[in-house]
């Protein structure tokens, strides 16, 4: 099969491989990232129209989580001390997914600002397992934007 046929058909190599994903936390690359998810959810209220139930978006909620292979307590102590002092520090997260074999090296990059953390795992471990820490977070959807997209 020639190159022209390949260009018109979907090929498995075009699918994204998350192994090349990266995340920056306040402009610092997280080398030990193992998982990242960032999403916006539409909060809806029911609208009754006759006997039918419809809905209307009344607000948006930004949420996500990332998991790191624990090497250092990156920023955890800083956030803990801020919380203990009654302050609510905010962060910026930038996620990048690129795969050198997918879609000729195209990539997507999304930035979320005004990020707050919902919990801080101070310590966790399981014998015989690599230590991972999960960071659930929230953000205001108005502070999210794609910096690069695959079209």
State how far the Cα of 1 lies from the Cα of 97, in Å rounded to an integer.
Answer: 30
The verdict on residue 8 lying in a domain is no
What phi and psi, each to the nearest 5 degrees, are found at residue 144?
-110, 140
> What is d(CA 54, CA 60) in angstroms, rounded to the nearest whole number?
18
Can you tell me the mean pLDDT for 37-45? Answer: 97
CATH number of the domain within which 59 lies = 2.30.110.40
- Cα separation, 145 vs 37, in Å, equals 15
Domain-located, residue 112? yes
pLDDT at 150: 75
Distance CA 24, CA 74 (A): 12
Please count the structural domains in the chain. 1
Tens of pLDDT, residues 92-122: 999 998 876 666 667 889 999 999 999 998 8
Any idea which of 59-63, 100-104, 106-110, 139-143 has the lowest mean pLDDT?
100-104
- Structural domain containing residue 92: 14-46+54-148
Q: Angle CA(74)–CA(78)–CA(84) in degrees, nearest 5? A: 140
Mention every residue, 6+ apart, whose C-beta is less than 8 A from residue 88. 82, 116
CA distances from 59 to 1, 119, 142 (A): 50, 23, 11
| Token pair for 26 | 């306040």
Tell me whether residue 7 is in a domain.
no
pLDDT at 2 exceeding the cut of 60:
no
**Residue 16's closest CA among 93, 87, 76, 99?**
99
- pTM, two decimals, is 0.81
- Could you tell me if residue 1 is inside a domain? no
**Residue 129 within a domain:** yes
The answer to whether position 2 is within a domain reads no
């Amino acid at each position: 099969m020639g190159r022209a046929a390949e260009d018109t058909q979907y090929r498995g190599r075009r699918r994204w491989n998350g192994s090349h994903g990266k995340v920056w936390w306040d402009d610092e690359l997280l080398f030990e990232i193992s998982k990242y998810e960032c999403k916006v959810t539409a909060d809806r209220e029911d609208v009754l129209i006759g006997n039918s139930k419809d809905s209307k978006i009344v607000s948006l909620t930004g949420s996500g989580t990332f998991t790191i292979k624990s090497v250092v307590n990156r920023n955890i102590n800083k956030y803990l001390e801020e919380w203990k002092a009654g302050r609510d520090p905010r962060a910026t997260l930038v996620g990048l997914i690129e795969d050198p074999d997918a879609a000729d090296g195209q990539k997507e990059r999304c930035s979320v600002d005004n990020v707050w953390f919902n919990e801080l795992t101070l310590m966790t471990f399981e014998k015989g397992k690599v230590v991972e820490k999960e960071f659930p977070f929230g953000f205001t959807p108005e502070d999210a934007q794609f910096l690069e997209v695959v079209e």
